[in-house]
C-alpha cells in the first residue's frame, strides 16, 4: 500500500466508524421507542376502560397517521407490550437492551421459556456480538439448557472463563456426518466448518491449526486441533475420538501437554487441553492453573 492509499484508508476508517456509531444510535432510539410504546400499551391494557382491544385500535390509528410505517401493526404493538413487560424492573439487563437489535430481541422473546433464559441470551448475545442468525442457531440448539446442565451452571458472565471454559456437551449438527465415520472425517468436518464450530465453542477461541506437529524426544506427534483462548491466555489442545471414553486418553493428553510446555509455552501462559469426542463419547479436558489442576468432561452430539 503506497502513502496515498494509506491516507485514503484513514478516511475510509473515519467513515466506517461514523456509520457504525450512527447505526448504534438509531438502534438505541428504536429500542427505547419500542419500550416506551410497550409501557404505554401495558398500562392502558390494565385499565378496565381499554383492555387488549386498545392495541388493535391504536394499530389502525398509526396506520392512518403514519402511512408506510413498519412494525406498528397489531402484532408488532403486542410484541412491544410483551417486550416491556418481560424486562420491566429488571435492572440486570436494562442497560443491555439497547445493545441488541429488534430482531434479536424477538428471537429471545419467542425462543425463551423463562425470565432467566431471556436474561441468559441477552447477556450472551451482547457479550459475543451475535448476529441474528448466530443467536437463532444457539437458541434452536438449546444452548441455555446445555449451560444449565453443565457442572458449574454457567452463565454468560462466567461462560468461557477460568471457572469453567467449557460446556458438558456441544451440538455439531452443522457437520452433516454419516451415521458411521472415522476420526479423521470428524476432524476434517470440524476444520471445514470452523467458523460454526467456534460459534459453538465461544468466540474467545482462535484456531491455530490441525494435526499440529510437536516433537517429544526423537519422536514426532500431531495434535488433532490446536486453539488459543484469548480470555484465558492459554492453548487448547483437542484430540478427537469416537467410541467409548478410555482412561488412557487422559495420559495421552498429558503427554501432549508436556510437549507443548517444552516447545511453545511462554511465561505468562497456562495450558488447557481437552478430548473432543462425537456421539456418546466424552471430551476430556485438563485445566492447568498455577496452583491447581482439574479434570472436566463433556461430549459432542449431532442433535
* Residues 6+ away with beta carbon under 8 Å from 264: 235
Q: What is the mean pLDDT of the chain?
A: 79
Q: From the CA atom positions of the chain, what is the Rg in Å?
A: 24
- Residue 161's pLDDT is 47
Query: Cβ distance 288 to 270 under 8 Å?
Result: yes
The residue extents of the domains of the chain are 3-88, 169-301
- Residue 303's pLDDT is 55
CA distance 169 to 190: 15
Q: Please give the C-alpha separations between residue 138 and each of 70, 92, 144, in angstroms, as whole numbers.
A: 27, 21, 8
Backbone angles phi, psi at 228, to 5 degrees: -120, 135
* Residues 6+ away with beta carbon under 8 Å from 279: 242, 299, 300, 301, 302
Residue 112 per-residue DSSP state: -
Query: Cβ distance 122 to 108 under 8 Å?
Result: yes
Residue 301 per-residue DSSP state: E
Question: Which of 118, 115, 107, 165 shows the shortest CA–CA distance to 140?
Answer: 107
CA distance 108 to 144: 11
- Residue 246's pLDDT is 75
CA distance 1 to 31: 41
Q: Which three cell numbers stand for residue 156?
A: 454468560
User: pLDDT 10s digit of each residue in the chain, 303 long?
Assistant: 567 777 788 888 899 989 988 988 999 999 999 999 999 999 888 875 666 678 888 999 999 999 988 899 999 999 999 999 999 999 889 999 999 999 999 999 999 999 999 999 999 999 888 999 989 989 998 889 888 876 555 555 555 444 555 666 677 777 777 777 777 888 888 888 887 787 778 778 888 888 888 888 788 888 888 888 887 777 888 888 777 777 777 788 888 888 887 777 654 555 555 545 444 443 434 333 332 343 444 555 555
- Residue 154's pLDDT is 54
CATH number for the region 169-301 comes to: 3.40.1350
Q: DSSP readout, 182-228?
A: -HHHHHHHHHHTHHHHHHHH-TTEEEEEEEEEEEETTEEEEEEEEEE
* Residues 6+ away with beta carbon under 8 Å from 200: 141, 170, 171, 172
- Residue 296's pLDDT is 46
The pTM score is 0.65
Residue 299 per-residue DSSP state: E
Q: What is the pLDDT of residues 169-199, one digit of tens each?
A: 677 777 777 777 777 888 888 888 887 787 7
- Residue 157's pLDDT is 55
Q: Identify the bridge partners of residue 140 per DSSP, sorted by sequence position.
A: none
Q: What is the pLDDT of residues 18-41, one digit of tens each?
A: 998 898 899 999 999 999 999 999
- Residue 265's pLDDT is 64
- Residue 174's pLDDT is 74
CA distance 205 to 235: 9
- Residue 56's pLDDT is 87
CA distance 133 to 16: 23
- Residue 25's pLDDT is 93
Query: Cβ distance 211 to 234 under 8 Å?
Result: no
CA distance 136 to 111: 8
Amino acid at each position: 500500500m503506497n502513502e496515498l492509499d494509506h491516507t485514503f484508508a484513514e478516511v475510509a476508517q473515519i467513515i466506517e466508524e461514523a456509520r457504525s456509531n450512527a447505526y448504534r444510535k438509531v438502534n438505541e432510539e428504536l429500542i427505547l421507542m419500542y419500550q416506551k410504546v410497550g409501557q404505554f400499551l401495558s398500562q392502558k391494557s390494565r385499565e378496565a376502560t381499554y383492555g387488549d382491544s386498545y392495541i388493535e385500535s391504536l394499530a389502525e390509528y398509526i396506520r392512518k397517521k403514519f402511512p408506510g410505517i413498519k412494525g406498528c401493526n397489531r402484532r408488532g404493538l403486542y410484541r412491544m407490550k410483551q417486550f416491556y413487560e418481560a424486562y420491566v424492573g429488571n435492572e440486570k439487563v436494562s442497560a443491555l437492551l439497547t445493545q441488541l437489535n429488534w430482531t434479536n430481541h424477538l428471537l429471545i422473546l419467542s425462543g425463551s421459556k423463562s425470565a432467566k433464559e431471556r436474561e441468559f441470551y441477552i447477556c450472551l448475545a451482547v457479550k459475543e456480538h451475535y448476529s441474528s442468525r448466530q443467536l437463532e442457531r444457539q437458541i434452536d440448539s438449546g444452548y441455555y439448557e446445555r449451560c444449565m446442565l453443565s457442572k458449574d451452571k454457567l452463565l454468560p458472565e462466567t461462560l468461557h472463563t477460568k471457572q469453567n471454559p467449557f460446556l458438558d456437551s456441544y451440538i455439531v449438527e452443522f457437520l452433516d456426518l454419516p451415521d458411521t465415520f472415522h476420526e479423521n472425517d470428524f476432524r476434517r468436518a470440524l476444520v471445514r466448518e470452523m467458523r460454526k464450530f467456534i460459534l459453538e465453542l465461544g468466540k474467545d477461541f482462535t484456531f491455530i491449526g490441525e494435526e499440529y506437529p510437536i516433537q517429544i524426544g526423537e519422536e514426532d506427534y500431531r495434535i488433532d486441533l490446536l486453539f488459543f483462548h484469548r480470555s484465558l491466555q492459554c492453548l487448547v489442545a483437542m484430540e478427537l475420538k469416537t467410541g467409548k471414553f478410555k482412561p488412557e486418553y487422559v495420559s495421552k493428553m498429558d503427554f501432549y501437554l508436556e510437549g507443548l510446555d517444552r516447545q511453545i509455552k511462554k511465561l505468562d501462559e497456562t495450558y488447557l487441553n481437552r478430548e473432543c469426542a462425537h456421539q456418546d463419547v466424552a471430551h476430556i479436558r485438563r485445566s492447568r492453573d498455577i496452583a491447581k489442576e482439574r479434570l472436566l468432561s463433556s461430549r459432542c452430539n449431532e442433535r
